[in-house]
Chain A
Amino acid sequence: MIQGLTHNDHDRHYDASALSQPSHRPRQGALRARKTTSLLGLGVTAGLSLLTTGCGERYLVFRPVGPVGQVEKELIILSIILVLAVIIPVSLLLWHIVWRYRDVPGNPAPYDPEWSESHVLEVIWWGIPIVIVGVLGAFTVRDTFLLTKPPERTAAPLTVQVTSLNWKWLFQYPDQKIATVNYCEIPTNRPIQFILSANGPMNSFWVPQLGGQEYAMPGMAMRLWLQADRSGVYYGHGANFTGRGFAHMAFNVIARPRAEFDGWVRQVRHSAPVLTRVGYQSLVQSNLVKPMAFSAYAPGIFESALLKEGGMYMKRDLTMLGRSHSHSGT
């Protein structure tokens, strides 16, 4: 029996007030030159703001705090504008046609039951969607390639290894050699290289305000670049169903300036217990736990779970693990 699968999970409620913290400095980085999109987006943003008056900050996808989420938001806004260019005319046309050509006695509108071909019209509406798909497709391809690169080239990235367990998130910091469960601290203005895997059913790692998600899958290690340019506490949740405890797989990502982050690391190193292999095995069990921190962890936990018999397919991708791989104990 799984304990703790009740309906309240107070520990993981993130602090909504932290979302509105002021920006520490203007957003920087390689992804900024996007004025065209921004201008286009202005109208829709205004519309969306109207729509969401009063609780706009709840629309996490539209409140990005880093360059990755910003790129995705701008693409979303561009796509909304493009599809509205079809939806609005179609709706008006439908309304007009249905009203004008309704079958009532004495309707003066023309009735032309055999009229069924018009090359001009057909070229127009084969053409309109082709143009829209062309524009959106071009931006999509550009951003798809863009997001596989670190958002900020100047700062050295921080690597965090993320493992989805039933039903908790384990974060390991191979450079700091500390680990946390169900919360994750990161420095601001520094690209974070999340290396995602699972030791259990596949999950998806999603922190909407930092950017889009990526799956955490057993026997695979996949990279997700994210970055926070503003301090705050950001809501994260598993996005792929993993069984009974799935609804409780929330975690907070706490972003703070470099110095504070380093202080936090020191504090964890000095005060938290060690995650042993036995301790890890108990984390792998299906249950719910509260947030935890570990001053050190048994080396190779992440890599050995990854390579455990099935990871053969991933050997060629191990280079991706980068520095963390050199720590592998197995």
Chain B
Amino acid sequence: MSTFLPHFPATFIVTGDPLIYGAEVSIVLATVGILFVLTYFKKWGWLWREWLTTVDHKKIGVMYLIAALLMFFRGGVDAMLMRTQLMRPNMGFLQAEHYNQIFTTHGTIMILFMAMPFIFAMFNVAVPLQIGARDVAFPYLNAVSFWLFFFAAMLFNLSFVIGGSPDAGWVSYPPLAGLEFDRGPGENFYLLSLQITGIGSIATGINFMATILKMRAPGMTLMRMPLFSWSVLASSILIIFAFPALTVALALLLIDRLAGAHFFTMFQGGNPMMYINLFWIWGHPEVYIVILPAFGIFSEVVSTFSGKRIFGYSSMVASLMTISVISYVLWVHHFFTMGAGPGVNSFFAVATMCVGIPTGVKVFNWLFTMYRGRIRFTVPMLWAIAFIPIFAIGGATGVMLAAAPADYQYHNSFFLIAHFHQVLIGGTVFGMLAGMYYWWPKMFGHMLNERLGRWAFWLFNIGFYVTFFPQYLLGLMGMTRRMYTYPANMGWNTLNFISTIGAYVMGIGFIVLVLDVVYSIRFGERDFTGDPWNGRTLEWSLPSPAPHYNFARIPTVTSRDAWWTSKQERVRGDAPMKLEPLQPIHMPKSSGRPFIMSAIFFIGGFGLVFNWYALGFLALLGILISLLLRSLEYDTDYYVPVEEVEHTEAALGRA
């Protein structure tokens, strides 16, 4: 194979499967359609100026949200295909190769390209507004993070039609994922796209930690900060310390695969176990990275729709921070069965159970936030209420899994599958959907339709139970994960069938959710108040959607639930503070470079997937030049003049 001339593998374009032909055709049609619409309506300039080059956290949040929903769809289709194959024993719907690719992409997409952008959407949409800031600490870096994620997701999805999808599971354990057993480019797609999105994630972690620590409005001490922002702080700290381990694991495995090194190979001194340790040193904190922001959202939603202060605020903060610390010493519980000694297993077992303590405390505090409140059953609140029993059970099965000797019987069985879907769907997905309904008016200036929202909620919630409860039982019956087929005589047939039906119901729920979004764009109730839920935190003091500079005047905070307090003061007739005169507002300038640089990352990543080192080298050069140009750039900010602020505020009906 020539190193510097492009070498096309025999299977460059994936062929031979009707599903993939269908995908190829629809990708081409969708691309042509988008290009046509943009050209016909002369929207190219608008797209570039308003979206591709924006550094506004609110728009970046919206783009994260759209991307997360699209990836949710892709990962969900994967799930439907898997469940269809498992609906009956000995089904011939998918071949082994195809099934293996699908469960690999399902897991990878749902964690890295659905859950992560979804939480980042919420970070971006809510945090600066909640803490009284005009943007994040590093707006340009924020755009870099988004576009790295976006192009990494494109790179990963491209493997479906070019080169073939990865098929070694989302954990991608060597030696199965090593060159010895997996020669195809699919695994390279996995490694490179995760590497690229990982860089973006680390940058986001740094960005939001800096934003929360340094950019809070005057008077907003840490202990007056809304719990969602606290959860983002905890999550960001986890990202900063956990993601580098993933970066290292992926890089070493990539070097094994591209350059024939032996970090994780079976022989020549390699040790696959090291990959597994590194992977889970990231992987375990990762699940808390995606669950903590959901906890934050539930805290906001439960408090708002109970019309009551959050119960045990200090406990809530303490438990968030405790979870984030403990989560670093749990990783071995993913492989109790890999031969660690009883001392090691005992330590990690008890440490894992200990996570249940702060988590249990949070559940009780949410319950007692509702206690003596006035509960409004809005759609975000429905997701939050449904979360509690699901998470109580999911957490309980987590404690059961933590008992190491019991785990020898659950490990890699459907019991485990049911457990982590229960906490990740019941926790993260329910949390993000609650957040989406909650902050939708703040993002777009209109509400989502409650009626459709309720339909989506009930379908998804009931479908969830029907899908995953049978899977606990299947695990106890001895069914292991990642089997593309199973024999008819094990007694697994009925439960698998029920589980598949449940998955379809969840799928319908998702479709209704999308219908709600589409319907509400046109018909959703407009929010002219900026405070449609009678909210408690500062984002509800702003118009919906907020102007690009967020706050015309940075508020001064005197208590927790700052907006609630100021509304109370107004009701009591306390003299409203005299408004300070407006000042020119310092804002960052848009830049096209994050988009361009990330596109170069994409090109370089694509080159390395096929061992085209020349392309990889050129891309590296392009990235370095982009970084250098940024370093030499001084004209990065501007001031919004007072007249423009006055004009904008007047147009929004604010003094």
Which A residues are closer than 8 A to B by beta carbons? 5, 7-9, 12-13, 16, 52, 55, 58-62, 69, 71-73, 75-76, 79-80, 82-84, 86-87, 90-91, 93-94, 97-98, 101-103, 107, 109-118, 121-122, 125-126, 128-130, 132-133, 136-137, 139-141, 143-148, 166, 200-202, 204, 206, 208, 211-215, 217-220, 222, 235, 237-247, 250, 308-310, 312-313
Contacts and interface: CB of A to CB of B under 8 A. Distances in A.
B198 to A, nearest CB: 23
Given A72-B409, A115-B308, A235-B478, A310 B403 contact: no
A260 to B, nearest CB: 25
Q: Interface extent on B, as a size class? A: 35 or more
Nearest to A71: B405
Contacts of A219: 266-267, 271
B626 interface: no
Nearest to A112: B372
A172 B477 CA distance: 28
Contact of B480 (A114, A206, A217, A244): A206
Contacts of B389: 87, 90-91, 94
6 contacts: A58-B491, A87-B392, A121-B312, A130-B357, A212-B407, A245-B96
A83 B100 contact: no
Nearest to A117: B312
Interface of B: 90-92, 95-97, 100, 168-169, 173, 175-176, 181, 265-273, 306-313, 315, 335, 337-339, 341-342, 345-346, 349-350, 353-354, 356-357, 360-361, 363-365, 367-377, 385, 388-389, 392-393, 396-397, 399-400, 402-409, 411-413, 473, 475-478, 480-487, 489-491
Nearest to B315: A122
Contacts of B475: 61
Contacts of A80: 400
A144 B349 contact: yes
Nearest to A137: B350
A250 B487 CA distance: 10
Nearest to A103: B374
Contact of B367 (A97, A136, A200, A237): A97
B337 A246 contact: no
B316 to A, nearest CB: 10
B391 to A, nearest CB: 10
A180 to B, nearest CB: 21
A125 B364 contact: yes
B396 A147 contact: no
Contacts of B484: 247
Contact of A97 (B350, B371, B487): B371
Contacts of A201: 173, 175-176, 181
Contacts of B310: 116
A79 B356 contact: no
Nearest to B415: A61
B268 A309 contact: yes
Contact of A87 (B345, B376, B396): B396
Contacts of A82: 399
A310 B309 contact: no
A7 B97 contact: no
Contacts of B367: 90, 93-94, 97
A248 to B, nearest CB: 8
Contacts of B168: 241, 243
Nearest to A91: B389
Contact of A202 (B175, B353, B356): B175
Contacts of B338: 214-215, 217, 222
Nearest to A128: B360
A110 B372 contact: yes
Contact of B409 (A12, A128, A133, A212): A212
B477 A58 contact: yes
Contacts of B377: 102-103
A126 B369 CA distance: 16
A98 B366 CA distance: 11
A8 B488 CA distance: 9
A13 B165 CA distance: 32
Q: Lowest 10 CB-CB distances: which A-B pairs, in order? A: A212-B408, A83-B396, A58-B491, A201-B176, A7-B90, A222-B339, A116-B309, A125-B364, A247-B483, A129-B360
A312 B397 CA distance: 38
A126 B269 contact: no
B96 A247 contact: yes
A211 B399 CA distance: 20
A48 to B, nearest CB: 9
Nearest to B311: A116
Contact of B486 (A60, A211, A218, A247): A247
A220 B267 contact: no
Contacts of B397: 83
Contact of A94 (B385, B476, B487): B385
B482 to A, nearest CB: 4
A59 B477 contact: yes
A212 B405 contact: yes
B478 A60 contact: yes
B390 to A, nearest CB: 11
Given A86-B392, A90-B392, A141 B406 contact: no
Contact of B91 (A7, A87, A125, A128): A7
B90 A133 contact: no
Contacts of B405: 71-72, 75, 140, 143-144, 146-147, 212
A55 B367 CA distance: 38
A218 B490 CA distance: 30
B426 to A, nearest CB: 13
Contact of A101 (B364, B374, B403, B477): B374
A202 B176 CA distance: 7
Nearest to A69: B409
Contacts of A112: 308, 372-373
Given A61-B478, A202-B272, A116 B403 contact: no
Contacts of B485: 7, 247
Contacts of B335: 215
Contact of A148 (B342, B370, B375): B342
Contacts of B406: 72, 75-76, 79, 140, 212
Interface centre among B345, B363, B477, B491, by most chain A C-beta atoms within 10 angstroms, is B477
B208 to A, nearest CB: 26
A206 to B, nearest CB: 7
Given A126-B361, A136-B399, A141 B271 contact: no
Contacts of B307: 103, 111, 113
